[in-house]
C-alpha cells in the first residue's frame, strides 16, 4: 500500500464532512429524522412513505449541484471531473446499483444512515454494518483490480 498524497484532499474532506454533519443535525433537530439516504429513497418508493420531508430532502440533494455550480470549479474542481465510463460499463453500473439498493435495504442503511448517523449515535449495529461494507468494498476493489484493473 502507498498513500496517494497527490489525490489526498484533507481540507476539502474535513469541510465537506462538516457540511454533511450539519445536514444530518438539521434534519435531526428540525425534523426529528435520520439522514439516511437509502432509507429515505426506499420509503419514497412505498406510497405510504412518500412524505413531504423525504421528497424535499431528495430534491435538495438533487438540486445542490445546480446551486453550487457557479462556485464549484473553485471549491472542488475534482467534483466536476468525473471519470469516463463507456457503454461497456452499463451492465456493471446497473448491477452495482442494484446491489447497493438491495444491500442497503436489507441492512437498513448505507454510508449515511449507518456510517454517519448510526456511528454518531454510537449504535453497535451500525458499527457492524460499516465495518462489513467497508471490508466488502476493499476486497471487491482489490479483486477487481487484480482481475481487470481498477474499476475506474
Partner 1 sequence: MKSALSALGAGLLFGAGLLVSGMANPAKVIGFLDLGGHWDPSLALVMASAIAVSWLGVRFAARRTECPVEEGPANTGITRQLLGGSVLFGIGWGITGFCPGPAVAALGLGFWPAAIVVLGMVAGLWVGKPKTGAAAGPATATG
Residues 98-117 interacting with partner 1 (rule: CB under 8 A): 98-117
| Cβ atoms of residues 96 and 29 within 8 Å | no
* CB of 127 vs partner 1, minimal distance in Å: 9
- Ranges within 111-150 binding partner 1 (CB under 8 A): 111-121, 123-126, 128-130, 132-142, 144-145, 150
Annotate each residue in 3-32 with x if it binds partner 1 (CB under 8 A) or - if it does not, as one string. Answer: xx--xxxx-xxxxxxxxxxxxxxxxxxxxx
Q: Which listed residue (57, 73, 88, 147) binds partner 1 by CB under 8 A?
A: 57
Q: Considering only CA atoms, which of 13, 37, 10, 14 is closest in space to residue 117?
A: 37
The rounded radius of gyration (Å) of the Cα atoms in the chain is 17
Site residues for partner 1, 59-88, by CB under 8 A, read 59-68, 72, 75-76, 78-83, 85
Q: Crossing angle of helices 124-148/90-107, nearest 10°?
A: 160
Amino acid at each position: 500500500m502507498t498513500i496517494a498524497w497527490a489525490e489526498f484532499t484533507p481540507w476539502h474532506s474535513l469541510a465537506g464532512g462538516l457540511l454533511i454533519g450539519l445536514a444530518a443535525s438539521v434534519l435531526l433537530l428540525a425534523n426529528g429524522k435520520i439522514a439516511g439516504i437509502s432509507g429515505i429513497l426506499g420509503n419514497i418508493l412505498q406510497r405510504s412513505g412518500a412524505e413531504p420531508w423525504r421528497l424535499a430532502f431528495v430534491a435538495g440533494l438533487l438540486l445542490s449541484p445546480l446551486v453550487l455550480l457557479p462556485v464549484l470549479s473553485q471549491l472542488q474542481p475534482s467534483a466536476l471531473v468525473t471519470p469516463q465510463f463507456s457503454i461497456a460499463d452499463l451492465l456493471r453500473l446497473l448491477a452495482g446499483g442494484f446491489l447497493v439498493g438491495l444491500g442497503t435495504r436489507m441492512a437498513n442503511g448505507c454510508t449515511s444512515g449507518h456510517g454517519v448517523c448510526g456511528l454518531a449515535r454510537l449504535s453497535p449495529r451500525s458499527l457492524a454494518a460499516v465495518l462489513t461494507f467497508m471490508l466488502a468494498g476493499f476486497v471487491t476493489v482489490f479483486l477487481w483490480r487484480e482481475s481487470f484493473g481498477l474499476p475506474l
